[in-house]
Chains A and B, each alone.
Chain A
Amino acid sequence: MVAITDDLPLAPRRFSLGSAIRRNPTIAIGAVLLIVLIAIAVVGPYFVGNPLKIAPVNRLRPPSERWWFGTDQFGRDVFARTIYGSRVSLIVGLSVAAISSALGLILGLACGYFRRLDGFVMRIMDGVMAIPSILLAIALITLTRPGLGIVIVAIVIPEVPRVVRVVRAIVLSIRSQPYIESAIAGGTRNAKLLLRHVLPNTLAPLIVQSTYVCASAMLIEAGLSFLGAGVPPEIPSWGNIIAQGRTFFQIAPWTILIPGAFLATTVLAVNLLGDGLRDRLDPRLARRL
């Protein structure tokens, strides 16, 4: 018999919140900001007034104790509208990220793993990628009724190919790893190989990619709403608040600056989280992107 030769070299490090924050300040800042914004979006609307209530007497009031963020040209409370607007942004951002990641993961895995599918699917993806999302959204909305769902669909379609490309590239690099050959030699068959060896190793970079998708979806939604091709005007979103305030920008800049600041903060939070996760999960990806 062989003697038990040696102790294992590394003792597992105990987890502490303090050191985790010190090590990954960007993740911590991004996550805290995002959690606060989600909390505002979820519970905020129950505490603020009606965002649609028109009060011409009080129009274009500057921020004060009564109207924290002032009022717009119809006398609507910008604070209430901004809080309600955060729902739209976050719903769009998160659902686009989730849907396009899920679709992209399935297609990317298939392309990277089953090489016969690859050429065919990737050419379609290249085609889809060539459609500008703003034009696609305008076209879709003119064909149907404007609404949150259609905005999400319009943004998902051009985002999917980007995710597919990322996942496919990761799958291709995983496939050439010795541990895949080792698993095949050990008798692991296709389905298990995909689920146990390939899939888990694609998730970390996919999560990182999905934060970028989320941030860009929120910006595109704001852009679409600003152009009037996004969510219908009766639903306040940061994009259409800014759009409606732009004519009065010089006398009531708060109608634009405040929702704009919220939009910027949300996108920043998501991007910080994404950058932090990228550095944490996959330092090699950081250099590639």
Chain B
Amino acid sequence: MSVLEVSDLVKHFPIYGGLLQRQVGAVRAVDCVSFTIARGETLGLVGESGCGKSTIGKTVLKLMEPTSGKIVLGGTDITALKPAAMWPHRKRIQTIFQDPYSSMNPRLSAGTIVGEPLENFGIAKGRERDERVARLFERVGLRPDAMRKYAHEFSGGQRQRLGIAKALSVSPDVIVADEPVSALDVSVQAQVLNLLIDLQEELGLAYLFISHDLAVMRHISHRIAVMYLGRIVELTDKRTLFSTPLHPYTEALLSAATAPDPKRRRKRRATVQGDVPSPANPPPGCHFHTRCPYAKAECKVTSPPLREVAPGHHVACLLR
């Protein structure tokens, strides 16, 4: 059973211009995106900067209002909920941010930050809250006596642990993790990834894991959605994606990625040239046709739908 269902999600950011600041256009950050995440599952959202993956994260968290589409969290449609009506549902979906430095109020102690959701939802306060926070600290591998310290006294990896502890405090069903390890050094990144996997297996959490790093994605995800300019171009389980990628963009991403293996160096090829077009003015038809080595005439006019080409394997390409 899925704990998060997103269908036809659209998020446009208006562009204002001219003397009267009228709306002159829109950045189509997210353009008709659908996916589901089951309990205990990690869905990876991978793509390059500006592909809309972070916007999806913020929209399902209702930190941003979707333009259209539907977000169903554990059976409740939260799409149109106003902040007050959304509030009780926030317990069920939590988030871990990319930047452990700016995602913590510099003037609060670590214990206060981690315990805040417990207070907010009236789950625990006073001594009981402190005890729970201490247990959370231990659970993520921090000393409970560090509760009195301030965020700046922790290292990057430790702050990310604090962020995880905070997200866990209200026992959510879903955690949106937006680039949670990309600001960390390799050795610390390993610690945080291991922790995330342990917690998932223990608590049955569902992760929406957003990253640009294919290797991290491959490590932590069960299924992966590849995004390009606001659309999902390929969505399938991890093994299929890496063994038989079908979309030319997925292929390009895989062949462009570097690997710590000098023998592979001759195999790597930058198969796509050029830059990602602006999401304010994406190319017509298939967004990828300007860089696609296989593009045909019809790709320039027809926008390919996301079709299921094999069980569980969805691709948006006219040629496959």
Report which A residues bind B (CB closer than 8 A): 1-6, 8-10, 12, 177-179, 181-189, 192, 196-197, 200-201
Contact = CB atoms under 8 A, between A and B. Distances in A.
A183 B191 CA distance: 25
B138 interface: yes
Interface in B273-287: none
19 contacts: A3-B141, A4-B141, A4-B143, A6-B158, A8-B153, A8-B154, A12-B153, A178-B103, A181-B97, A184-B63, A185-B93, A186-B116, A186-B166, A187-B121, A188-B116, A189-B87, A197-B105, A200-B105, A201-B105
B: contact size bracket: 35 or more
Contact of B107 (A189, A192, A200): A200
Q: Interface SS of chain A: helix, strand, loop or mixed?
A: loop
Contacts of B90: 184-187
Given A5-B191, A178-B97, A179-B103, A189 B120 contact: yes
Given A2-B139, A2-B198, A4-B142, A183 B105 contact: yes
Nearest to A186: B117
Interface in B125-183: 138-143, 146, 149, 153-155, 158, 163, 166, 169-170
A85 to B, nearest CB: 40
A187 B117 contact: yes
B87 A187 contact: yes
Contacts, number: 89
B52 to A, nearest CB: 17
B160 to A, nearest CB: 12
B120 A187 contact: yes
Nearest to A190: B83
A178 B138 CA distance: 25
Interface in B13-67: 58, 61, 63
Contacts of B58: 181
A183 B113 CA distance: 8
Nearest to B99: A178
B305 to A, nearest CB: 33
Contacts of A182: 95, 97, 103-104, 163, 166
A185 B120 CA distance: 11
A182 B159 CA distance: 13
B319 interface: no
A189 to B, nearest CB: 7
